[in-house]
Structure 1
Amino acid sequence: MSSQPHSRRRADNTTAAQPTRDLRPVPDPDPVEQVYAAIHEHQAAQMLAEVDPENTFIEALLNTSTAEAADVLQIVTVDDLAAHMPRVILTAITELVHRGRQPTPAEVAGHARGPLNIAPQPSHRSIVLYLAKVYTSRVKSDPWAAAARVIEDSYRRSFAEFGARIEQMADHFAPIEDLEQLTGTAVRQWRNMRERVRQANARSGARTA
């Protein structure tokens, strides 16, 4: 009798065999490594927040005098900021300075207990936490240099915003007169922003000369 069927059965049995599962418990992550990873992640996020131009600008205003803050606010407006929390804090600072009060973190936090001229207004806790994070930043900036960076960022965003609007109008066959009018508005705004950047850089340069 041939042994081939037995050989086939042995081959089939070998093929069907499953690897033995490892039932040993998976060890817990090393808590020390987790702590170091969390610290590293926090430091990286903190550094990104500290070098953000808008956070840097707010930090500079919180450390300046009432008179200098008033001068800076002559060339920087809330519309120059993109992120909402810096816009909220700048609104509070502007209101304080217009009342002749120094925009210290305590003054800003106290003023923000009431309604601000911006919506939506974050919770008071969120405002206080943001002030603490920005004020304790290791990056200390000259208010005029920080103002120049903020305006320049706004200047760049304006190119993209006007460009998108002009492109959209052109794609929808808007009247040429409307396109020319919007382009003229954009050019006037860009000239204003360019001049404000120049003024801020000049004041910053004068402080360091």
Structure 2
Amino acid sequence: MVDAALIKQCADPGLKPAIVEQFIERAGSQDPLAITVRSGNRMVLVPRPGTPDEAMKLIRQHVGRDMVRVGVTQYPAGLGIMEAGELKQDLVDPCENLRMGTALFARVYRIVTKWYGNPTEKEALPHVFDDAIVAWQTGYFEGTAVFRAPDLDEVELAAPDEEKPEIDADEQSADSAGEEVSDPVTDRARSDDPNKAGIRVDLSGIGAE
């Protein structure tokens, strides 16, 4: 298990420690040098790097051609960069990887929570968390490329085993008024989305606005 002090020091403050622990247990790794490479639906076997320098060399060999996940949070290595030379060793630093990974997962979790209508029932929260984990692993949720979608920083996140306080019905109606509804057909039609393959990273466009 990742050290509680490391979580307190480095994890995104928008995620409660209980969420971070379950996130790493379900989708991360205990090894800060852990590298997972997928090409299409196939797992590519790569040697475990012994040093951060070896890890970065291995990442640069595959990023841009394959989906590369790195470190304790299994962060998507090619996200937000234009070429392999822009990759920083922060990816394999436990604290920095935890900071970047939990911040990105918090965004994904908020997107999924919002789609579910900000549920308050304790029974519903594990399902929301499960879908957030799948979205983290695939990069998609209901046709939305979650790593590139706008952040919903107003959404409150709860741990899967925590019951959120009830929201007043009038307040909830006011919050949802004028809300833009995503069209999954339109979302799927965006063939220029560099994340469309789900398990590939297109460095030529991934950082484009």
TM-score, L = length of structure 1: 0.27
- Return the index of the structure with the highest Cα Rg: 1
Higher strand share: 2
Higher helix share: 1
TM-score, L = length of structure 2: 0.27
